[in-house]
A and B are shown apart, each in its own frame.
Chain A
């Protein structure tokens, strides 16, 4: 992170008009929104964008959302969780319909991203760690890995309140059955699936240690969730011997 570093060859960013081509319930509190973005240059797995909404009197509100999809083309998939007191997310989750238009700016971010290793080789193992809706950019990364048929070992540790609140459950299931190695493990914080004896409760240091690729394998670790979740997990990862430069974090918060 110090010294000379090449500028990353990420697609150029800019404002685009987006039209909603599909919106559907992702979880009881979240919607999956598919956009057709005019002139979108494609995006890397893990990037985000800004959404701008304009009211009839010219009032605007802008928020950042992680992108659940990646690759070329003008289709962009978001998954937005409704914040109880939010101004933008309740509109996106509950009001937005097919054919509505909004503005997006992006793609954004060149650090919390993953690319398949060049030449079809195997890169450093990848550990993904998600808290709640923080799984969205990690889904993009896991699916990019699966779509590339990449041989790099991947694991996803996903902390979620209940089985009903899992984002992209089918896609993760499919990705974990493909040829690209992906192991998915859930930590249920409120309720586990019926008929299982999975422990219920917030993630602990011991649970983390048991559920992630060990530091001796030198994985790259991506952590995304609330600030509290990311602070706890990243702190434990350091204690477990992971190097701080191998840990990439993204947090959601605010409004």
Chain B
């Protein structure tokens, strides 16, 4: 149904193939959040994976002893900005789930501050997701989700839960905070799954 808006020419003509539809390249790092930035001290930080049969728990020091990966990836925010080739350090979800047994197929990510977002488990494994604690060689800023955030770069960035504190397995794909407030259950930027 798209039609031309009189007089609009736009600026960029070199469409970057790495940009999903409806996205604009930015060089700064905008912030999307629904409330105050939680202050989380790494001394108090812990990360939990909870299943139907129990839980695994890591302190910050234990987490830092896990295998750490460098990740370079593009990120896409539902509010229409993208950044290309961003660099992160973190722990792969494959590492975190290595000894976790579960029959559930869906994950609810929980954050300090009370926010939640839902992701299917198979979208977090096989090198697709990390818990990241460094951005651009520096500890992750609190406003960008520090001390640690989920990094699921193939989905819109609200799925990369800031201030993440744990993952809870769930039998169905129940919506999290952002999804209850209008964002898409899945959030694939290449399909423009922005809103439901």
The interface of chain A, by Cβ under 8 A from chain B, is 1-2, 5, 7-8, 10, 13, 15, 17, 50, 52-56, 58-64, 87, 91, 95-97, 100-103, 105, 108-112, 227, 231, 234-235, 237-238, 244-245, 247-249, 251, 253-255
Nearest Cβ in chain B — how far from A81, in angstroms?
Answer: 16
Category for how many chain B residues contact A: 35 or more
Chain A residue contacts of B110, Cβ below 8 A: 2
The interface of chain B, by Cβ under 8 A from chain A, is 1-13, 15, 22, 24, 26, 28, 30-38, 79-81, 110, 113-116, 143, 175, 177, 180-182, 195-196
Given the complex of chains A and B, what is the CA–CA distance between A52 and B22 in angstroms?
8
Given the complex of chains A and B, what is the CA–CA distance between A97 and B6 in angstroms?
9
Cβ contact within 8 Å between A62 and B80: yes
Cβ contact within 8 Å between A111 and B181: yes
Given the complex of chains A and B, what is the CA–CA distance between A55 and B6 in angstroms?
8
Cβ contact within 8 Å between A109 and B8: no
Nearest Cβ in chain B — how far from A177, in angstroms?
Answer: 32
Cβ contact within 8 Å between A7 and B32: no
Known contacts: A87-B11, A91-B8. The answer to whether A254 contacts B81 by CB under 8 A is yes
Nearest Cβ in chain B — how far from A253, in angstroms?
Answer: 4
Given the complex of chains A and B, what is the CA–CA distance between A61 and B13 in angstroms?
11
- Judged by DSSP, the binding face of A is mixed
Known contacts: A55-B9, A87-B10. The answer to whether A254 contacts B35 by CB under 8 A is no
Cβ contact within 8 Å between B34 and A255: no
Chain B residue contacts of A10, Cβ below 8 A: 182
Cβ contact within 8 Å between A87 and B24: yes
Nearest Cβ in chain B — how far from A16, in angstroms?
Answer: 9
Tell me which of B1, B11, B36 has the highest count of chain A C-beta atoms within 10 A of its own C-beta.
B36
Cβ contact within 8 Å between A251 and B31: yes
Chain A residue contacts of B116, Cβ below 8 A: 1-2
Given the complex of chains A and B, what is the CA–CA distance between A153 and B61 in angstroms?
48
Nearest Cβ in chain A — how far from B159, in angstroms?
Answer: 17
Known contacts: A55-B8, A251-B30. The answer to whether A63 contacts B80 by CB under 8 A is yes
Nearest Cβ in chain A — how far from B104, in angstroms?
Answer: 18
Task: Name the contact of B36 in the complex, choosing from A1, A62, A234 (C-beta under 8 A).
Answer: A234
Task: Name the contact of B182 in the complex, choosing from A61, A101, A108 (C-beta under 8 A).
Answer: A108
Cβ contact within 8 Å between B24 and A255: yes
Cβ contact within 8 Å between A8 and B35: no
Tell me which of B5, B80, B196 has the highest count of chain A C-beta atoms within 10 A of its own C-beta.
B5
Nearest Cβ in chain A — how far from B178, in angstroms?
Answer: 9
Given the complex of chains A and B, what is the CA–CA distance between A64 and B180 in angstroms?
19
Cβ contact within 8 Å between A255 and B35: no
Cβ contact within 8 Å between A234 and B37: yes
Nearest Cβ in chain B — how far from A246, in angstroms?
Answer: 9
Chain B residue contacts of A63, Cβ below 8 A: 24, 80
Nearest Cβ in chain B — how far from A33, in angstroms?
Answer: 13
Chain B residue contacts of A60, Cβ below 8 A: 2, 10, 22
Cβ contact within 8 Å between A54 and B5: yes
7 pairs of A and B residues whose beta carbons are closest in the complex: A1-B114, A234-B36, A254-B30, A253-B30, A111-B181, A110-B181, A254-B81
Given the complex of chains A and B, what is the CA–CA distance between A238 and B81 in angstroms?
29
Chain A to chain B contacts (Cβ below 8 Å), 10 pairs: A55-B5, A59-B13, A59-B15, A87-B12, A91-B7, A111-B181, A231-B143, A244-B113, A248-B34, A251-B31
Given the complex of chains A and B, what is the CA–CA distance between A112 and B177 in angstroms?
13
| Smallest Cβ-Cβ distance to B77: which chain A residue | A254
